[in-house]
C-alpha cells in the first residue's frame, strides 16, 4: 500500500470560524440554477437543503488537488431551515482520513464536517462530505 496523501495527524484540524451572511439573492440564484421551483426558495426566503454547499471554508494546511477528486457522498442535517438574513457561525473540520484499496488502486478518503450555528451559538445545520482522492 502506498503512502497516504495526507497524514492522519491532520485529523481534527479545523478552519477558523467564519461568519456567513445568508443573502436572499444567493438563495434565489442557487434555486434558479438548480431549476428548483419551490416558491419559498425562488423568493429567496428559505434556502434549499443543499444550499450549505455554497459555504466553502478551507482548512489551513489541507489542500486537495481538484483534478483528482471524486465526491463520494454528502449529508446535511438541520435543526431548522436556513433563512435569508441568517448570520451563521461556520467552521469546517477534518473528521477523518483513511486509505482504501479500490478497483482503481489506492484511494484516500477525507471526511469533512461543516457546522453552522446561529450567532447565539444554537446549532442550525451540519454537513458531512466524503471526498475521495485517487
Partner 1 sequence: MTDTATTRMDTRELAVGSALPELRKDAITKLQLVKYAGASGDYNLIHTDDETARRVGLDGVIAHGMLSMAFLGQYLCWLTGPESIRRLTVRFGEMVRPGDVLTCRGRVKALVDEAGGRRLTLELWAENQRAQQVTTGDAEVVIG
Closest distance between partner 1 and the C-beta of residue 41, in Å? Answer: 7
- Residue 3: all three cell numbers together: 503512502
Buried b / exposed e along 90-117 (16+ C-beta atoms within 10 A): bbbbbeebebeeeeeeebbbbbbbbbbb
Q: Nearer to partner 1 by C-beta: 6 or 52?
A: 52
Closest distance between partner 1 and the C-beta of residue 32, in Å? Answer: 7
Q: Which residues bind to partner 1, rule: CB under 8 A?
A: 26, 29-30, 32-41, 46-50, 53-54, 56, 66-78, 81
Closest distance between partner 1 and the C-beta of residue 115, in Å? Answer: 15
Amino acid at each position: 500500500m502506498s503512502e497516504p496523501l495526507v497524514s492522519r495527524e491532520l485529523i481534527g484540524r479545523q478552519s477558523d470560524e467564519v461568519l456567513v451572511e445568508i443573502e436572499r439573492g444567493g438563495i434565489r440564484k442557487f434555486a434558479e440554477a438548480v431549476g428548483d421551483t419551490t416558491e419559498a426558495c425562488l423568493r429567496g426566503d428559505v434556502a434549499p437543503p443543499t444550499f450549505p454547499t455554497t459555504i466553502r471554508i478551507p482548512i489551513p494546511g489541507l489542500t486537495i488537488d481538484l483534478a483528482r477528486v471524486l465526491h463520494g457522498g454528502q449529508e446535511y442535517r438541520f435543526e431548522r431551515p436556513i433563512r435569508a438574513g441568517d448570520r451563521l457561525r461556520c467552521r469546517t473540520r477534518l473528521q477523518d482520513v483513511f486509505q482504501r484499496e479500490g478497483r482503481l488502486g489506492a484511494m484516500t478518503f477525507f471526511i469533512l464536517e461543516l457546522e453552522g450555528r446561529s450567532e447565539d451559538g444554537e446549532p442550525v445545520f451540519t454537513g458531512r462530505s466524503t471526498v475521495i482522492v485517487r
